[in-house]
Structure 1
């Protein structure tokens, strides 16, 4: 897993690379312009690359960015040269995809949460959801583990009230779709979309506009 972000206005010429969730106990090791954040198990959970343009040249973008295999190779060379642990792995899989709710049941320890089994094409994920409009058979937008939301929040596998949950069913507001309603509820997509299809933010804006007019 690799999540990279670049925010020059807030952090200057710094690339943040996340390869795993934060741990309760972790330390940092800095050599030159590279900081490795290491968990209690000795494995890195992330890196900060200061003055990253010296390794990759000028980066464009503000927020989450996707690195090429060549860029990842250059950063791995810098990590190795610094003698820091671990390495980055190219991750070009979409993290926002279309899902189909194939099973739906009440949460045993909540009066408003539900447990959904969601087909995302390559697998079926169990996701705990509290949206009032989530139902069996709906076509939804799934933020997979490793997704970075527009707010900067990262989705990791976890548990809600003791029930495992891998991913999140997303609302139009959480996805920062223009014209998104401010009320609670996940974004429902056209049923003809196949499970596992990469989510198209531009087409979703048209869906939201049509729903607002309905």
Structure 2
């Protein structure tokens, strides 16, 4: 799940993006200060919470992390508006330090690799990566499904050349890090970086 807020550009509205809309047409049902967004398959892909500063204080801009208490406040808004669904209490960081446990060539590509990358608490994601410097044993930055990159790109599970991929291994440029090198390639972290720890990104 992705929460995003930018009062200066999107008004006092908190956006909760719950699923990939797959580029399908959307319908919006608004009740009071809550709007539910579905795609044409009937999947709920997001919620809009209007006048959110009347309910909670959000200091950050762009993708924001909410506490369990704030998510419960949103669920109260949903219920009071007359909807029956709830948001899950997902407070895990979405851009984290990862460890490449294995890396093999993609069977249908001369530049893609298939990695098994640990992202914390023993969880391992299969991620397809196109960087030339990807290899087993690296500490890297992983954008997990549900992440929003500094440029607004949202990360969802996908398929690359027939192989499922559950996230993205990031370059310094994609993370908008100050002084990021212009050369291509993923960011290689020191070996003492802690797997699963949130990684701070730059601003768009």
Q: Could you state the TM-score of these two structures normalised by the residue count of structure 1?
A: 0.85
Q: CA–CA distance in 2 between the matches of 1:48 and 1:118? A: 33
How far apart are residue 46 of structure 1 and its match?
A: 0.8
Aligned to 2:137: 137
Aligned to 2:68: 69
Which digits, 9 at most, give the CA deviation of each residue in 1:141-183, with x for residues without a partner?
A: 1111111111111111111111100111000111111100122
Q: What is the aligned residue count?
A: 200
Structure 2 vs 1, CA of residues 133 and 14 (structure 1 numbering), >3 Å: closer, same or farther?
same
Aligned to 1:161: 161
Query: Over aligned residues, Cα RMSD in angstroms?
Result: 1.9
Is 1:93 equivalent to 2:98 in the alignment? no
Rg larger in structure: 1
2:135 is paired with a residue of what secondary structure? Answer: coil
Q: CA–CA distance in 1 between the matches of 2:67 and 2:144? A: 21
1:141 is paired with a residue of what secondary structure? Answer: strand
How far apart are residue 10 of structure 1 and its match?
A: 1.0
Structure 2 vs 1, CA of residues 112 and 39 (structure 1 numbering), >3 Å: closer, same or farther?
same
Aligned to 1:181: 181
Q: CA–CA distance in 1 between the matches of 2:8 and 2:119? A: 36
Higher helix share: 1
Determine if contact 2:150/2:201 at 8 Å carries over to the other structure: no
Determine if contact 1:140/1:187 at 8 Å carries over to the other structure: yes
Aligned to 1:22: 21
1:109 is paired with a residue of what secondary structure? Answer: coil
> In terms of mean alpha carbon deviation, does 7-16 or 93-102 score higher?
93-102
Which digits, 9 at most, give the CA deviation of each residue in 1:88-137, with x for residues without a partner?
A: 22222121222222221111221111111112232221111011111122
Gaps of 5+ in 2: none
